[in-house]
Amino acid sequence: MRHFDLSPLYRSTVGFDKLFSLLDAANVGETAAPSYPPYNIERFDENSYRITMAVAGFREADLDIEVKENALTIRGEHAESENAQRGEILHQGIAARAFERRFQLADHVEVTGAHLENGLLHVDLKRELPEKMKPRRIEIAAAGKKPVKTLEQKAS
């Protein structure tokens, strides 16, 4: 795999070191990404996303979703049931192994909900920018004029 030198970017940017670390980890990281369970990442609009994961055979009690800092972790593990009457398996094509999937979330992306439907786990995400980060217009004062200030006065 190719390795990209990101050091020139460190010289001209501020606050992107976490992003560059992620890119470096992707460059050097594992050669074969885990493929179980399969998943989709969808974007509905500029700030709404959904991760859909195929978890056939798992119940809600078998799944665990955790968000810590900017990392979303989804785990699945079958709880062994003592009452399960199982016959001898002649062929096992349905994977029933435990899994753990991690997703790195961007700043201000929050999990808004999750639901299990027809063997698919849907995790909804939304980017919520704080007011101070949203674009705003700045008025430009004309040369020689002071900005107008409005003062509230109490009636006496």
pLDDT band at 63 (very low <50, low <70, confident <90, very high): very high
CATH classification code of 36-81+91-129: 2.60.40.790
Report how far apart, in Å, the C-alpha atoms of 45 and of each of 50, 107, 135 are: 11, 17, 18
Alpha carbon distance 139, 128 (integer Å): 26
* Percentage of residues of the chain with pLDDT beyond 70: 66
Domain ranges of the chain: 1-33, 36-81+91-129
Alpha carbon distance 28, 154 (integer Å): 66
Question: 37-55 pLDDT, tens per residue?
Answer: 899 999 888 888 999 999 9
Please choose, from the candidates 13, 46, 49, the residue with its C-alpha nearest in 3D space to the C-alpha of residue 134: 46
What is the pTM for the complete model shown?
0.64
23 Cβ contact partners less than 8 Å away, ≥ 6 residues apart: 4, 6
